[in-house]
């Protein structure tokens, strides 16, 4: 089942709901995304060996996801989407505090796929 994500402009103003594929094919549609970096009490950043359709078998940030539109309740907040991602990708069930470092726009093409994101950078500590 396809996810529905939130399209936005370059400044992060919500525009409309779009299928996830529309944000990641051709030139894509700019959409909200989240980058999460966790570090432990020793100051070490937690990385993952990525299993992904495009970026397979590379070392990557702690977590990456999108805000998802939910038909049955309010759309995810930045924290809710991040906690969902950390649970799926790391098995972290704790709702750890995350600090918002701000947004950046990111665009890159990879053959028929692309990333066209208005991305927030969140950091937090987890041992």
Q: What is the pTM of this model?
A: 0.85
- Model confidence at 1, pLDDT cuts 50, 70, 90, reads low
List C-alpha distances in Å: 62 to 16, 19, 65, 92, 119.
Answer: 28, 24, 11, 11, 14
Give tens-digit pLDDT for 6-30.
999 999 999 999 999 999 898 899 9
What 3-state class would DSSP assign to 2?
Answer: coil
How far apart are alpha carbons 10 and 44 in whole angstroms? 32
Give tens-digit pLDDT for 29-84.
999 999 999 999 999 988 877 665 655 666 666 778 899 998 888 899 999 999 99
**What single DSSP character describes residue 38?**
E
């Amino acid at each position: 089942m396809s996810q529905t994500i939130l399209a936005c402009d370059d400044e992060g103003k919500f525009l409309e709901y779009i299928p996830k594929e529309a944000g990641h094919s051709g030139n894509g549609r700019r959409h909200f995304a989240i980058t999460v970096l966790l570090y432990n009490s020793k100051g070490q950043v937690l990385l993952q060996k990525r299993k992904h359709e495009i970026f397979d078998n590379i070392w990557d940030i702690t977590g990456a996801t999108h805000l998802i539109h939910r038909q049955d309740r309010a759309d995810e907040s930045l924290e809710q989407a991040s906690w969902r991602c950390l649970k799926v990708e790391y098995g972290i069930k704790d709702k750890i505090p995350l600090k918002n470092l701000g947004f950046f726009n990111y665009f890159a093409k990879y053959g028929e796929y692309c990333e066209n994101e208005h991305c927030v950078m969140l950091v937090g500590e987890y041992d």
